Amino acid sequence: MKFIKKLSPIVLALCIVLSTLSGCTSKTNASGENSAVSNTESAVKIKEKATIKVAALKGPTGLGMLKLMSDNDAKTSSQNYEFTIESAPDQIISKVVKGEFDVAAVPTNLAATLYNKTEGKVQLAAVNTLGVLSILTNGENISSLKDLKGKTIYSSGKGSTPEYALNYILKQNGLEVGKDVKVEYKAEHAELASQLIAGNIKIAVLPEPFVTQVMTKNKDIKKALDLTDEWNKAAENKSVLTMGGLIVRKEFAENNKDAFNSFLDEYKKSAEYTNSNIDGAAKLSEKYGIMPEVVAKKAIPNCNIVFMDGEEMKEKIPEFLNILYTANNKSVGGKLPGDDFYYKK
């Protein structure tokens, strides 16, 4: 009897503990849900942010990422992004192949080249920059492509999109390079720009932001023709002159599909911000080393920053790449990419 009396307080305490735990387990919230189940579901829903390594180039192809860079620094982006800004595409290529970058903004024809080089391990996820090329004049009166007959045009970008685009547009307008029009090439955009400013060159093909820079430094320089508009006319809107795109490593996209799709959604909004908030984007451009604020402020409206993905991208880009391939198959890596080149959400 004494043993039972001694044991009772212990048993009583144990019952209270079990009763309390039972009450917690079965307690429901105001909506009638079991709180323990609800907490478990919440834990499942909370996912860790993925880390995505992104490379961008100084110049127009990096402008669409500015707001996303800012949001990432403010810790308000949906994922964790590690941005690297490079000066030239060559600095990006090897690192993409090695897996050091997951996503990169590169010239569109380079995206096709990497697809072929890696045997399909790189995909085009979006187009981010349309044509940024213009024909500029210093002392010449050029109002149409026909006015170029008998003239000498100076350009940069030999062996790349500027050369193939210019040749295609001229050919579609009945002008043969070497016969009707002479085209001479300079090694660098900067060299060509300085020669145009000095008045040593009368007609030149330059991309942004050099177009803005030379027109700012020499008021006699005029924009005669926008090659994006001329391309659209020549191609009858079956393709677009595109200078930049966003690539992704296929393996990364497959293993992180939700995170990458979230990145694309944020990137689209970032591109829209650049176009609609030029002053703010220009400040961010200088902050992140894309181009100086004063240049970006004038250049952004002419840089054709876009976000084109999915079916629209697949509809417009193949013919553009085919034109480059016809001009020089090495410009796209030796062969046209297959359907799996185009990333689908």
pLDDT tens figures, 43-77: 444 568 899 999 998 888 899 999 999 999 999 99
* pLDDT value at 141 more than 50: yes
Map out the domains of the chain with their CATH numbers.
53-131+240-341 (3.40.190.10), 134-234 (3.40.190.10)
- Bridge partners, 205 (sequence order): 135, 155
pLDDT at 47: 63
Q: Are strands 152-156 and 103-107 parallel, antiparallel or unpaired?
A: unpaired
Find all residues with CB under 8 Å of 135, minimum gap 6, and list them.
142, 148, 153, 203, 204, 205, 223, 224, 225, 227
Averaged pLDDT for residues 155-174 = 92
Rg of the chain over all Cα atoms, to the nearest angstrom: 28
Give the span between the Cα atoms of 128 and 242, in whole angstroms.
Answer: 8
Asked if residue 203 lies in contact with residue 142, where contact means CB atoms within 8 angstroms, the answer is yes
* pLDDT value at 142 more than 90: yes
On the CB side of 94, how many CA atoms lie within 13 Å of its CA?
Answer: 4
pTM value surpassing 0.75: yes
Per cent of the chain over pLDDT 70 is 86
